[in-house]
Chain A
């Protein structure tokens, strides 16, 4: 058996999605911008995909949902265009975001800092979320934008977007949320919550890779990131990616129809897995109250077991998971999200993320519990943290003097 539990990284494309995409490669391949019927024949399908997006997100017809290539593009678009429109072209000079955003937000913000923008990176609490009063306390009359993720890719924790949205609205500050881990996983109602911009990506909810979207409230001004043929109502240039737009529409429809039911089913499996691991393996803890988590995510810390070593053993057992462990990264730096949450650096070295999907089965959960336990037992047998014979006097290691992450 092989078990894929890395659905916060990407998901399997739903076969139903692949099926609706098929005709647009070899049959209905016309360019939607063309006047002839080869092009216009795609329009009903595109219109349907757009409808599917608006319905799924409960967007108003006055809002825009613009298809992009991915959420990285959507995030770059908002940050760079707000910079262009309100900072270069206005009197603002400040952007607020969090320490735990995706690199497509953090790296862009660092680049904006080089351009002279003041950026505040808000800390998270021990649950891994930013508290609304913290956001409020940093807003000034020079603040152009607040950008806070809807849910965390690492912990699954859901941020208080509604409260932050109200704060931004009453202070007249634009509010962007990276909704990549929320859209398709939990209800996202854009008429209930005040958000100016929301980024999303299809491959996180069983759609294809290479297609994302940006929601823009009330079709408000935001200068384009890509200049060209002025597709998507002049907002985003580039030939419309017809099969992928159709696929994204289908994927979001499948993910959000009866979402409460789907969430309950995933949550039941997730909770069973989480309970079993915590119960069967001593010295473990999970980050974040699970009632406020996306229903598919577990971030578990296992004392005495280094993250990459654990991933290795899970991989040997055909289980795909993820870690924020420094050792598993190209630059040896521990995951900033896990460091931001704290837990004495331990989490940064021992945290394993398991993320389920609606395709995860009960058998897979059973199999995972069994092999997870085996892996922990093997690695703890090797681990110095669980050694019985203590060091010769004088042979103890000193305090950790390695500031793994102080640079950040």
Chain B
């Protein structure tokens, strides 16, 4: 909200000239009859998408040359608002001359781009982007009828936001890479959820299989789990700094260093040592030890031996270590 938002947008002023021109004079509205198609030796495919009770419906007619799979002629009928009519018109135009297999690759993004006056200015305001989605859906329907395959087979990934055609994988990846924490951030990074808003959360314009709020929650959970797992793995391979280890880990690490470098010499002299406790402060990590056997009371235990133990641990584990015999 700021100065520019105070008056609210004028919906119709945000339409491109192409949109308004096609709303007023759609070029490809009409029908193709079975007789016409037959006369040309072509196959007619007629597909519906949407319903009047839904608020928008489109019927697409394709006349296809069966030898080449090429769409030689196309027409549409539309119950819908002006942008639905304009989108349908451009979609129909884009189909003509393409093979069915090529036409399936036309997306609502292509339709919207074709409606722009200049390449950098959207053809319709954000909430109207949804009108072009139906143009894309009806193509898939027509192609599935002609090819005798399921509509879903044309979609090789899960599309969460149909308006901006953003896939589940993309959204998850962007959340992870950029450490996104809110739906608004997802919209800023991917445009998903920035148009008809249905995919943000349940209860919007239409029901969706995936919602951004759920994807965000699930992905954040995955990220947390990955983080924990990574920490555990790192500990196992000794990659975790001594300062960040748990107490158990630290005791194990100190013991391992003592075993490897110190204990054998103590035992040779008839002594030994054990770790009593480790206490952490901001500046130091104090390791409390107790000498056993011959070491107990040995003069060197407070000087040379102690120095050797401490410098070994400092070198191998952390400069913050102080060894304190008790």
Contacts and interface: CB of A to CB of B under 8 A. Distances in A.
State the majority secondary structure of interface residues on A.
loop
Interface residues of B, number: 52
A297 interface: no
B85 A382 contact: yes
A328 B56 CA distance: 12
Most A C-beta atoms less than 10 A away, residue of B34, B49, B78, B81? B81
Contacts of B81: 306-309, 312, 325, 327-328
Contact of A349 (B12, B55, B83): B55
Contacts of A399: 51
B46 A402 contact: no
Contact of A397 (B51, B127, B131, B145): B51
Contacts of B9: 330
Contact of A387 (B31, B56, B83, B141): B31
A247 B130 CA distance: 45
B8 A402 contact: no
7 contacts: A306-B79, A327-B80, A345-B54, A383-B78, A384-B52, A394-B145, A403-B206
Contact of A385 (B34, B57, B142, B206): B57
B45 A395 contact: yes
Given A327-B128, A330-B9, A348-B55, 8 more contacts: A309-B23, A346-B53, A350-B52, A384-B79, A387-B59, A390-B46, A395-B48, A406-B203
Interface in A302-317: 303-309, 312, 315-316
B104 interface: no
Contact of B79 (A326, A348, A383): A383
A391 B53 contact: no
Contacts of A36: none
Contacts of B142: 395
Most B C-beta atoms less than 10 A away, residue of A325, A334, A349, A406? A349
Contacts of B82: 308-309, 312
B74 interface: no
Given A304-B79, A306-B84, A316-B24, A400 B31 contact: no
Given A309-B82, A327-B80, A389 B127 contact: no
A306 B56 contact: yes
Contacts of B207: 401-403
A385 B34 CA distance: 19
A394 B52 CA distance: 18
Nearest to B60: A395
Contacts, number: 139
A344 B55 CA distance: 11
Interface in B101-149: 127-128, 130-131, 141-142, 145
Contact of B46 (A346, A350, A392): A392
Interface in A356-391: 381-391
A406 B206 CA distance: 9
Most B C-beta atoms less than 10 A away, residue of A384, A387, A389? A384
Contacts of A385: 52, 57, 79
Contact of B53 (A328, A331, A349, A395): A349
A402 B54 contact: yes
A384 B127 contact: no
A396 interface: yes
Contacts of A326: 55, 205
Interface string B59-78: 10100000000000000011
B234 interface: no
Nearest to B127: A332
Interface residues of A, number: 49
B58 A402 contact: no
Give 10 closest A-B pairs by Cβ, nearest first.
A327-B81, A407-B203, A308-B81, A384-B77, A397-B48, A395-B47, A400-B54, A387-B77, A384-B59, A402-B206
B33 A389 contact: yes
Most A C-beta atoms less than 10 A away, residue of B29, B52, B197? B52
Given A332-B127, A402-B207, A382 B29 contact: yes
Interface of B: 8-9, 11-12, 23-24, 26, 29, 31-34, 44-59, 61, 77-85, 127-128, 130-131, 141-142, 145, 196-197, 203-207
Contacts of B78: 382-384
Contacts of B29: 381-382
Interface of A: 303-309, 312, 315-316, 325-328, 330-334, 344-346, 348-350, 381-392, 394-397, 399-404, 406-407
Nearest to B85: A382
A382 B46 contact: no
Contacts of A404: 54-55, 205-206
A312 B31 contact: no
Contacts of A315: 12
A396 B29 CA distance: 19
Most A C-beta atoms less than 10 A away, residue of B31, B58, B78, B203? B78
A400 B131 CA distance: 16
Contacts of A402: 54-55, 205-207
A306 B80 CA distance: 5
A381 B26 CA distance: 11
B197 to A, nearest CB: 8
B47 A325 contact: no
A396 B48 contact: yes
Contacts of B24: 316
A391 B77 contact: no
A391 B48 contact: yes
A389 B32 contact: yes
A303 B8 CA distance: 31
Contact of B196 (A332, A345, A349): A332
Given A327-B55, A382-B77, A387-B77, A333 B205 contact: yes
Contacts of B31: 387-389
B127 A331 contact: yes
A392 B51 contact: no
A248 to B, nearest CB: 25
Contacts of B46: 389-392, 395
A390 to B, nearest CB: 7
Contacts of B206: 401-404
B134 to A, nearest CB: 10
A31 to B, nearest CB: 29
A345 B79 CA distance: 14
B236 to A, nearest CB: 49
Contacts of B23: 309, 312
A169 B47 CA distance: 59
A382 B54 CA distance: 17
